Structure 1
Amino acid sequence: MKDQNQPTETDPAEQPRNLLDNAIFKLGNALSLLFIVTVAISFYEVLMRYVFNAPTIWVHETASFLGGCLFVYGGIYALSINKHVRVVLIYDLVTTRTRRWLNVFHHIMGLFFSALLSWAAYQMVQDSWFSPFGEMRLETSGSAWNPVFPALVKGMIFLTLSVMFLQFCLHLIQEINGLRKNDDV
């Protein structure tokens, strides 16, 4: 019988694989505290609106901005600890070597996917950060408060997809090296 107080062993496949993944994992754990901030300011809005009849103009946009940025960051966080979506019906039935080949295919498709999305995100950033004449002008929300959150979210999407591309490159190299080592044995 296993002792409930014993720490559970974590699957090595669900650990950061390199320095970039480790940094993403640690930063993601720290950033997750922003969910508490989002809940706190949302509670503040409810309190101000329904108890004191003094609604805010900034809470909804701030909460949406924080939630959106954290959601986008979740993609590279999940990839850093190998918790991304996978069809395990096939993956769990094959040998370790076949899994490595499936991972190589996955990383090549991920490179293609993240490269195309990075390009599209770059176009969005260019449109939301610069005027047609090339002057820096951050897109705003158009609300009464009018923060630059739309431009910042688009920048976050571009940055995150660029990091994801780099992650896929590093993971692909690691898988290929793993296949080479198995061939040498």
Structure 2
Amino acid sequence: MQINPSPTPHNSDDTPRNWLDVAIVRLGNVLSLMFIATALISFYEVVMRYAFNAPTIWVHETASFIGGALFIFGGLYAFATNKHVRVVLLYDAVSPKSRLYLNLVHHFFGLAFSGMLAYAAYFTMEESWFAPWGDLRLETSGSVLNAPYPALLKGMIFVALCILVLQMILHLIEDISRLRKSQDV
């Protein structure tokens, strides 16, 4: 199954390039509904606080957690839909074949960088999930709610970085394949 039938090596639209990108986009479309949930619980907090003088202890932390989780996933979504940051002044000024080489460089260094970040995130996650003696003990916020949101977010960062590494590998493989095809022509 070829997802992007475009003959140019530059994927200029937001069409997902492989099965992982497709899955990320589909999940992202579902997760985007969480922004509505965040707005609703924030509205609930405002009504409870100002209309009934009964503020909640859970809304602020929960809304921050949901926003943080969506922000983490947003990086994967941006890469899957080709909406990530790039220096377009240079990128758009070169030929499609040169763009392919720039993509190779980008994905190679992106793979190295995301791999190192995933490695570091593992230790951060491990420290927030386990006590020094090895027992499972999720780091909590230390607030009145004392939810394990910090540990959960650190776990999500690690998982997202591992997925980003896989995304980089798949994009790198695709670009190498496109480069080989362009040299055969």
TM-score (norm. length: structure 1):
0.93
Give the AA of the match of 1:183. Answer: Q
Distance in 2 separating the partners of 1:85 and 1:12: 13
Alignment partner, residue 111 of structure 2: 111
Q: Quick one: which amino acid aligns to residue 32 of structure 2?
A: S
Whether 1:44 and 2:44 are equivalent positions in the alignment is yes
Residues 20-59 of structure 1 show CA distances to partners (whole Å, capped at 9, x for unaligned) of 0000000001000000000000010011011110000000
AA aligned to 1:181 is: K
User: How does 1:1-185 map onto structure 2 within 5 Å?
Assistant: 13-185=13-185
Q: Taking structure 1 as reference, are residues 170 and 97 closer, same or farther at Cα in structure 2, changes over 3 Å only?
A: same
SS of corresponding position for 1:14: coil
**CA distance, structure 2, for counterparts of residue 13 and residue 162 of structure 1:** 25
Report the residue type matching 1:68 in the other structure: G
- Displacement of 1:13 in angstroms is 3.7
Unaligned runs of 5+ in 2: 1-10
Classify the secondary structure of the residue corresponding to 2:53: coil
- Please give the per-residue CA displacement for 1:100-135, whole angstroms capped at 9, x wherever unaligned: 000000001110110111011101110000000011
Equivalent residue letter for 1:165:
V
What's the CA shift for 1:169? Answer: 0.3
- Supply the distance in 1 between the matched residues of 2:12 and 2:104 (Cα, whole angstroms): 18
Unpaired stretches in structure 1, ≥5 consecutive residues: 1-10
Deviates more, 1:58-67 or 1:11-20: 11-20
Whole-Å Cα distance in 1 between the matches of residues 91 and 101 of structure 2? 10
Q: Read off the aligned partner of 1:137 and give its amino acid letter.
A: R
Report the TM-score, using the length of structure 2 for normalisation: 0.93
Moved over 6 A (4+): none
Contact 2:12–2:82 (8 Å) recurs in 1: no
Q: CA RMSD in A?
A: 0.9
Judge conservation of contact 2:118–2:162 (CA < 8 Å) in 1. yes
Instruction: Supply the AA of the counterpart residue of 2:49.
Output: R
